[in-house]
Structure 1
Amino acid sequence: MNYDQEQQLTQILKFTYTFSGMETIYMNTVHNMLFAYGPMHVPEPLQHLFEAVRSNILLQLDQTKHQIQVHTTTQQLLYITVSIHLNDHEEGTMIVGPFLQTDPSMIQVQDILFQHQWPLSLLPLVQQYYLSLPLISMEKLNHIIEFILYMFQHSTLFSNTHITIDNKNYKQFNHSLSPPIENIEKKHMVEERYRNENKLISAVQQGNLTLVEQLLINGKHPKYPLPDRFPNDPLRSRKNLSFVRNTLLRKATENGGVHPIYIDSISEKFAIQIEKTTTIKQLELLQNEMCIEYCKLVKQLSLITYSTYIRKALEFIRWNLAEELTLDNVAQEIGINKYELSRSFKKETGLTFPDYIHHIRLKEALILMNNENLNITDISHLVGYNDVNYFIKVFKKHHGVTPHQYRQ
């Protein structure tokens, strides 16, 4: 590929990214990424699960012809590929994506985890990642492909005009500183806005969902509307403020006792969604959603009331639910005597160590019961019971019915 052709390629990559709003990259024949446009937003804890997806796609291509393909991976992610040949010589492949065509449900994400044997502890992160991906309708997908095809046909990167377009489904089982406040603005107007913001942030940090919802209702018609710091671009101004709020909510959630690993994916998801909004109304709705979701995270996952050792123990249990969990191995992991752990566990959680393990496993099992694609044995193994008969026995003891009866 000569210099002019390389320039044409980078222009096509840029235009495709701008038109589609999706990650657009170019990989050579040995699967090295030479050019990339757009955010690479796979959360760090998930990167090892998805890093080989593009390389696996390249291995499935027919390298003897020009083609545009739409790929659906085993992780239910979609990609567009364009194979580039010059003088019957394979040069490389342009890859656009990932994207989705339907909103991912909790059950679909659970199925993906189960089919790929990923740890159940990754469920919140995987779900947040999928929710952050672009949703592309079939109509828009066709427009994107037509756009790509038009650009390549009007370049020198295709040596002939015969190009195939097909689908491939993998079914087997991966600014400037803000200006100062205007002089005409009253001091008490600023104070009230900050006071209301602090109330909201404090309520999120406490996991007080009722108060958060009430404050959001009260804030629908503020007495002192927020001025646009960029009068010529009010949407940009509101986006910048939304980024600030996302940061404040993230810190409030961390201060509320939630492990950063749960916060990171949500924070990144909202940052992407903020930038994607096209109206101020969308931003207002998104800001409300941010407050509620961060607050729910504190309500469900906060460990702030526990001592350091018990907090470490609970975090270890959550992340290793499918593994063998004993007083000995948890105590060894967090560096405490097992007898001290047993005493502190009972004192702080109100449950003995074995009872808490059953409690948290059965709680996760109830969520998985809603997924009809998982049988009782699958669920038993996912939550850490290798003996399904023992799982049924424990389930019935706590809920009064067997798992099969519960589903009916």
Structure 2
Amino acid sequence: MYQLSHLVKQKALDLPLIESLAKTLYYGTGLSLTVIDQNHNKVFSHGPNAHVDDFLEDIFHPFVGFVKDTIKNHGNGVYTYDSDYALSYLVTVVADPSSYYGSLLLGPFLTKEANEHLINEVMHEQNFSMSKREQLKDLFNLIPILSSSRNYYIQQLVAAIVTNPHVTDLYPEAHLTELTEEMVENYDHAIEIEKSDHNHALEVLFLTKVQSGDIEKVIDLYNEHIKAQYFSQTSPNHLRNSKNKAIAFSTLLSRTIITGGVEAEKSLSLAEYYAQKIEQSHNFEELIDIIERMIIKYTNSVLQLSNINHVSVIKNASKYVHLHLSEPIRLNDVANYVNLSPNYFSSLFKREMNLSFADYVNQTRVKESQYLLETTNYSILDIAISVGYNNQNYFTTIFRKFTGVTPKQYRMRSAK
């Protein structure tokens, strides 16, 4: 059981300290944070997604039971609260054997992409009207996705921060004030100076070569420009500054190779691995060696995809379709999404899938409409619109082409 007594003051959460911790966690993880007191009232929130309960009003209704069960069976700690809306939170419960003082909720987050089917599942389970569908979709599009590995490391970070009994020394009450206007101006000025040292065109060229797996050009650009410009020993506290730049550089590379087709979870795992290696480096020479091996590893991750490039194209195209099922889906847009010309993408898709891209889109829409016809009472027109058809007659024609029956007949058969 974690000891969290340092977060409690006069039999209640130490709110000035908790608010500072909340901001630290928000800026450290990118996840919004909500603080709930012993009466389950929201007393503080920070971040763009901290107010989803304004739309999903009962998202915290099961939370009281979750807290009671957690205290009874586990006690203090960091746990995952899964709501009824496919949204989750990392929860730090602050309690002792006699009292519950409140909780820190980091989130919400998704564990998988919010495609059209997930939206429809939530709509069905919560018995929402179709009028709420676009609002729900817009909301989910703003929620971050956490892989299992990132979830694990964030839990470790939260535990390390909130269980540190010396955290009060880091946030003395005298310093728990808002930034003054002068401090903000000085900070902005420092950012502008730092930005001026960067060659944006060079960064774009370098990242483009990483994304395409051009290992030889990547190494040349690094040796000729990147190393000298970004990782030098000329600045004060150069090792710490270079470590910070290296971690930021690793994060940028991890996002770049995802665009190049590497699985997001693999890319984020590499970023976490190299962040640890960078922090563990003891001197500048060791750090540079890690950076150089890191750059080669990231670039080779893209290069190794060349043998399965076609599989990656089809997978990404399918992903696009499932994420935009209720919207107009144009071949040109999808071809651009997978970085191919429309003609080449169309012929590649048909060769690999043995059906045209247009047929694949219609087939996917029909499958989703079958789910809605079987599980909801939405009108056929509403279902047609939700899967991307604004004309019910056209929807019926397409549905009959793939199933042999009309939507109405299919619903009647399913009800038997």
Place the TM-score, normalised by the shorter chain, in its bin. 0.3 to 0.5
Structure with larger RCO (C-alpha < 8 A, sep 6+): 1
Structure showing the higher helix proportion among its residues:
2
